[in-house]
Structure formats: C-alpha cells, structure tokens
C-alpha cells in the first residue's frame, strides 16, 4: 500500500512542478509582450514620429526630436524605463497610458526591442 502512496505523491509533486513551470512561462511571455502585435501598434501609434524603422526620422514637432529607438542610448535602457516613457510620455511625446493597455505597451516594447537587431 505504501508504494501507491509514493506513486500518488510523486504524481502530485510532478503536477505541481509542471504547473508552476508552465505558469512561470506564461507569465514571462505575458510580461515580455508580443512583438508581432507590437509591430501593428507601433505602425499605428508610433511610426509617424519615430519613423517606420524607429530611427527617429518621422514627423518632427517644435522641441526635441523623436528618439532613435535603434540607438545604443535607447537599447541600453531597461524595460521598466522604456515602459515608463511609453506610459508617461516625454516632451513632444504624449502619454500612451490613456490609449494603450499595459499588455499593449509591453507588446510595443517587445517590438521596439527587435528594431536594433
């Protein structure tokens, strides 16, 4: 009878471990965003100023030029810093938190991260 308890315990622990790993992978993917969805959002909301390839060569307003998202100064920034910029805006950049959900912002960030590659 003790072997049944051992098998059941191993199965239970394995299920917990698998569930935790799967949940961690799903959360990691959700936190990292989807670059394909981000590309569509970027084209719709960001490319007019940052340019279609994110080089900062889009429409210019008075004041600072749009950031070149492929430059080392941008690529070295943390995800948190870039998400803050997306959410809060900058001079001549509107805050996107009123137009994009948290997940959409992460999708845009995931796409921006592909631009310098």
Contact 66, 58 (CB under 8 A): yes
Name the domain count of the chain. Answer: 2
Residues 69 and 116: beta-carbon distance below 8 Å: yes
pTM of this prediction? 0.72
Two tokens at 47? 């490319």
Between helices 102-115 and 2-32, what is the axis angle to 10°?
70
Instruction: State the pLDDT at residue 7.
Output: 46
Residues 61 and 71 in one domain: yes
Whole-number pLDDT of residue 108: 98
Whether pLDDT at 82 is above 70: yes
Residue 63 near residue 92 (C-beta atoms within 8 A): yes
- Whether the per-residue pLDDT at 8 is higher than 60: the answer is no
Q: Are 100 and 43 in a shared domain?
A: yes
Strand partners, 93: 90
Specify whether 12 is located in the same domain as 69.
Answer: no
Here the CATH number for the domain that contains residue 68 is: 1.10.760.10
Are residue 55 and residue 110 in the same domain, yes or no? yes
Domain that holds residue 86: 34-115
The reply to whether 52 and 23 lie within a common domain is no
Whether the pLDDT of residue 43 is over 90: the answer is: yes
């Amino acid at each position: 009878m003790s072997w049944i308890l051992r098998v059941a315990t191993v199965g239970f622990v394995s299920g917990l471990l698998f569930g935790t790993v799967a949940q961690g992978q799903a959360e990691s993917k959700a936190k990292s965003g989807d670059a394909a969805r981000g590309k569509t959002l970027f084209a719709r909301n960001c490319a007019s100023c940052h340019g279609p390839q994110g080089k900062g060569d889009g429409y210019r307003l008075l004041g600072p030029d749009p950031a070149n998202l492929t430059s080392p100064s941008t690529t070295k920034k943390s995800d948190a810093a870039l998400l803050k910029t997306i959410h809060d805006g900058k001079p001549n950049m509107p805050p996107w938190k009123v137009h994009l959900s948290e997940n959409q912002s992460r999708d845009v960030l995931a796409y921006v991260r592909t631009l310098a590659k």
